[in-house]
Amino acid sequence: MMGRCNQCWTFRQSIIMVASPFLLLPVPIAVSITHPEHSKAGKCAYSMMLMAVYWMTEVIPLSVTALLPVILLPLLGVLQSEDICANYLQDTSMLFVGGLTLAVAVETWQLHKRIALRVLMFVGSSPRWLMLGFMLASWFLSMWISNTATTAMMIPIVQAVLDQLYEHELAKLQAGIDNPALSLDSSEQQLSAGTSRDSLKLELKDVNCTSSEPSSVQLPPTRSSSTLLRDHELEKQNKRMTKCMLLAVAYASSVGGIATLTGTPPNLVMKGLVTKLYAKYGAEESLTLNFGTWLVYSLPIAMVTLVLAWGWLQILYFRCRMPAGGDESVKEVIRKEYTNMGPISFAEILVSIHFGVLALLWITRDPGFAPGWGKLFPDKYVTDATPAMLIAISLFMWPSQRPRFLCCKDRNDSSEISPVPSLLDWATLNRKMPWSVVLLLGGGFALADAAKESGLSSLVGNALSTFAGIPASALVVILGAIVAFLTEVTSNTATATLIIPILGELSIQIGVHPLYLIFPATLACSFAFMLPVATPPNAIVFSYGTLRVRDMVVAGIGMNIMCLAVVALATNTWGLAFFKLGEPPQWVKDQHTTVPTSPAFTGLASTIYSFQNCTGLT
């Protein structure tokens, strides 16, 4: 019996993959029998539930699961293949591709590493400020490049600095021990990852072991118990420091990604699904969500959570008594690493210019509080994908070295003139671009389209009308906690894909602004702090072997509580005022004739809107 159970457990993924389609078959069959008019909705629900099982268990790759709508929906008669396939490369997908193309260029020319090292050189060598430096660099870089790439780049730098800090403290501890019978082999000074840091090579000098005459041998004095105790304390302190720094980088990378629309896939999933929701009700023109307006809402949240994470990790591991530590040798490690990169290259300068221009174009296209350059073109003709692709294509045109022909050639340069490679080539982009995420985005959009056309979204919305009695401000906290838990056990992109359409229909049923529920849930998809498998940055730092699952759970619970509190506060203050979340749009009122007022938005919202009315602000 136990043998069969073990075999079943060994092949559990294959069993789930094969059994799930059959176990879920009663859903569409029952709906077709009891409610024939909703048979399409039942078939769509079957497809969505099967994809949810596959996404949560990862029995096949996430991106492959995202292709299932292309097979299931036409075969089940829910949607035509042509309509489904059109979802896999939309405006939001091109925004994602354009942003990641620039990120690949930044990684290719090591600009992200130069930025990180410059930040570390600025903050100094104290562990407290070094930790902030690591977090600031990770936080900023993860806004523009993937959280995984940021963490993978930062961790080796963290490890080198921690090794130098430990050696400095160890040298201070051993400064008072001077024994001529002890010699430190130079080869042992380089501490390997698997070697105990306090291992020393002993040599016994001037001892004639073959002499028949009695001789006195002076043995090395044993280390005192106090010295051993100090060694033990130093080892414990170093271990705490390592855990603290590793978690700091992982958390800063996750928090930084929420600040921009392109910083993390759930943000782009939200953008695409919200656009579809508004288009479904003919209200696309009233949607003010773009790169600049999202930045107004999310950047302060990212900044506050970064500071809270910095303080929380210090309290958790050092009770606010982080060792002073640090000396010139730590600065030298960072300085040497920076020097090894050489002077800033022509390619790095050009990539920096592209980076700055794209950020400026995104922010100023339609900032919300003033007309942007997008108003120079017909309405809806220009989106955030336009400047993203402009910069992406430009990277393939600009040279990676200073031109050396015609008027650009140096008179003293006698070398042979030849073409130089561009800042980016297709082979590099194709190798580093996460195309799987593009498919994942498309699968989510296809599901949302099918739910709308089959009527499933309306049925789900009607079923969720029971939540109308719960204040919307309480729903923000409840839903945020649920999503934060789900994202610990499944992909954050898959979580956003499944949850956001449901919240869109829920908001219409209870008569609140859709963005009031969707924004906090989207951010909660990135709050995967508790488990190593929750997100790639967590997995990277856990793979170093210092952290235990218990360490991540304890630190992650505190992070989740603080982040959810900040998001709830932000949504009910500047988010409420900037996006006018306290008043549902007209199309929501048309769908929901009885809109709750005071239960949903309490005193804080009323105060803000009273202030706006008194001052004339809109």
> In which band, very low, low, confident or very high, does the pLDDT at 461 lie, cut at 50, 70 and 90?
confident
> In which band, very low, low, confident or very high, does the pLDDT at 429 lie, cut at 50, 70 and 90?
very high
The kind and range of the H/E element at 151 are: helix 147-174
**Confidence (pLDDT) at 411:** 63
- For residue 262, the SS3 value is coil
H-helix segments, 406-513: 426-432, 435-454, 456-463, 472-489, 492-510
226 occurs within a structural domain: no
pLDDT of 385 higher than 70: yes
**Confidence (pLDDT) at 572:** 93
> In which band, very low, low, confident or very high, does the pLDDT at 6 lie, cut at 50, 70 and 90?
confident
**Confidence (pLDDT) at 145:** 86
SS (H, E, C) 173-219: HHCCCCCCCECCCHHHHCCCCCCCCCCCCECCCCCCCCCCCCCCCCC
**Confidence (pLDDT) at 431:** 92
350 occurs within a structural domain: no
Per-chain mean pLDDT for the chain: 81
Chain-centre distance for alpha carbon 434:
14
Predicted model pTM? 0.79
pLDDT in tens, 45-83: 999 999 989 988 888 988 899 999 999 999 999 999 999
**For the range 54-61, what are the long-range contacts, defined as Cβ-Cβ under 8 Å and sequence gap of 24 or more?**
54/17, 54/20, 55/490, 55/491, 55/494, 55/498, 56/489, 56/490, 56/494, 57/13, 57/16, 58/491, 59/13, 59/14, 59/16, 59/17, 60/17, 61/436
**Confidence (pLDDT) at 612:** 46
Lowest mean pLDDT among 137-146, 248-257, 487-496: 487-496
pLDDT in tens, 391-404: 999 999 999 888 76
Query: Per the structure, how many domains does the chain have?
Result: 1
Question: What average pLDDT does range 305-309 have in this prediction?
Answer: 96
**Confidence (pLDDT) at 416:** 65
SS (H, E, C) 95-139: HHHHHHHHHHHHHHCCHHHHHHHHHHHHHCCCHHHHHHHHHHHHH
138 occurs within a structural domain: no
For residues 419 and 252, the model is more confident at 252
**Confidence (pLDDT) at 197:** 39
**Confidence (pLDDT) at 569:** 95
pLDDT in tens, 330-382: 778 888 888 988 999 999 999 999 999 999 999 898 887 778 898 889 888 89
Query: By residue range, what is the domain housing residue 479?
Result: 28-93+434-615
**Confidence (pLDDT) at 531:** 86
Question: What average pLDDT does range 184-194 have in this prediction?
Answer: 37
**Beta carbons of 560 and 529 less than 8 angstroms apart:** yes
> In which band, very low, low, confident or very high, does the pLDDT at 422 lie, cut at 50, 70 and 90?
very high
Structure tokens at 513: 């602004």
Question: What average pLDDT does range 452-467 have in this prediction?
Answer: 80
391 occurs within a structural domain: no
**Confidence (pLDDT) at 241:** 87
**Beta carbons of 47 and 69 less than 8 angstroms apart:** yes
- For residue 258, the SS3 value is coil
- For residue 224, the SS3 value is coil
For residues 203 and 543, the model is more confident at 543
**Confidence (pLDDT) at 489:** 82
256 occurs within a structural domain: no
pLDDT in tens, 191-225: 334 444 344 333 433 434 444 444 444 444 455 55
Question: What average pLDDT does range 590-605 have in this prediction?
Answer: 47
Max mean pLDDT range (31-35, 225-229, 254-258): 254-258
For residues 51 and 616, the model is more confident at 51
10 occurs within a structural domain: no
**Confidence (pLDDT) at 202:** 36
**Confidence (pLDDT) at 326:** 55
66 occurs within a structural domain: yes
For residues 463 and 18, the model is more confident at 18
151 occurs within a structural domain: no
